[in-house]
């Protein structure tokens, strides 16, 4: 039986960095499920679809084969054989991903793929509905969060040297909007599973957060 750890939480809480480091240390596979929603968004946008109209995205689903390949423990996202790992990280794709993730047909489409990966591997899987929907029987569920300001500050520092970097205020507004959209949508909203452990990283450094999560997982093993 594989070991499954679910980490959910809002955008920018540090889920992916923390989960990636913890998985590397423990020899687990790290699965970033947001990348799957982003790959559907990227493909739809690249086909010129207005993703706020669910039918436009639904029509495209049969033509999308998203795939996660793990190369030396690092997740790469492929769509129809093309490595889109970098292309899915733009602000435009972030917003489109939030929209496509509210479409029930998209969630159903990605559900099986996520469950299959978890059945076949020891995983740390991060997302919004992993503990509540995708892996309700996960061995450990962690709900990772931090204040919107702390999350915006971290994100701003990551982006500030890039061309067209947004201002801190823009990053914060984006985070608040995505929090609102992700937690108020009708299907699989972002919410803490009843049996999840809450971990607030507002006043923790990255290293402290990673140590805390690894400690929790080691206790379980
Ligand atoms: O974690 P992220 O920012 O890469 O996620 C992109 C979008 O996908 C985000 O708006 C929430 C959504 N998402 C989701 O609805 N369910 C998941 N399991 C993962 C992400």
Strand 74-79, strand 82-83: pairing: antiparallel
Q: Report pTM.
A: 0.90
Does 86 score more than 90 pLDDT?
yes
**Average pLDDT value for the chain:** 93
Å from CA of 41 to ligand 1 middle: 11
CA-based end-to-end distance of the chain: 13
CA distance 138 to 132: 10
Å from CA of 34 to ligand 1 middle: 4
Domains for the chain: give ranges and CATH numbers: 4-220 (3.40.50.300)
- Tens digits of residue pLDDT in 5-35: 999 999 889 898 999 999 999 999 999 999 9
CA distance 202 to 199: 9
**Whole-number pLDDT of residue 182:** 85
- Tens digits of residue pLDDT in 132-156: 999 999 999 999 999 999 999 998 9
Which residue's CA is the nearest one to ligand 1's atom 4? 34
**Whole-number pLDDT of residue 188:** 86
Which residue's CA is the nearest one to ligand 1's atom 9? 98
CA distance 213 to 22: 7
With a Cβ cut-off of 6 Å, ligand 1 is lined by 11, 33-34, 37-38, 97-98, 101, 127-130, 178, 182
Does 185 score more than 90 pLDDT?
no
């Amino acid at each position: 039986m594989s070991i499954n750890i679910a980490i959910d939480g809002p955008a920018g809480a540090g889920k992916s960095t923390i989960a990636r480091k913890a998985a590397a240390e423990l020899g687990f596979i790290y699965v970033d499920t947001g990348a799957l929603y982003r790959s559907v968004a990227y493909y739809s946008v690249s086909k010129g679809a207005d993703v706020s109209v669910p039918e436009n995205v639904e029509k495209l689903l049969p033509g999308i084969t998203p795939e996660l390949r793990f190369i030396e423990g690092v997740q790469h996202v492929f769509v129809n054989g093309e490595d889109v790992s970098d292309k899915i990280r733009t602000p435009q794709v972030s917003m489109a991903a939030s929209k496509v993730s509210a479409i029930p047909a998209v969630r159903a489409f990605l559900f099986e793929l996520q469950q299959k990966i978890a059945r076949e591997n020891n995983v740390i899987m991060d997302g919004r509905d992993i503990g509540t929907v995708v892996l309700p029987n996960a061995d450990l569920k962690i709900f990772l969060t931090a204040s919107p300001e702390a999350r915006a500050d971290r994100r701003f520092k990551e982006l500030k040297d890039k061309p067209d970097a947004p201002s801190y205020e823009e990053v914060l507004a984006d985070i608040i909007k995505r929090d609102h959209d992700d937690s108020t949508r009708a299907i699989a909203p972002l919410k803490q599973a009843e049996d999840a452990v809450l971990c607030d990283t507002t006043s923790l450094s990255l290293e402290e957060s990673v140590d805390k999560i690894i400690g929790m997982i080691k206790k379980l093993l």
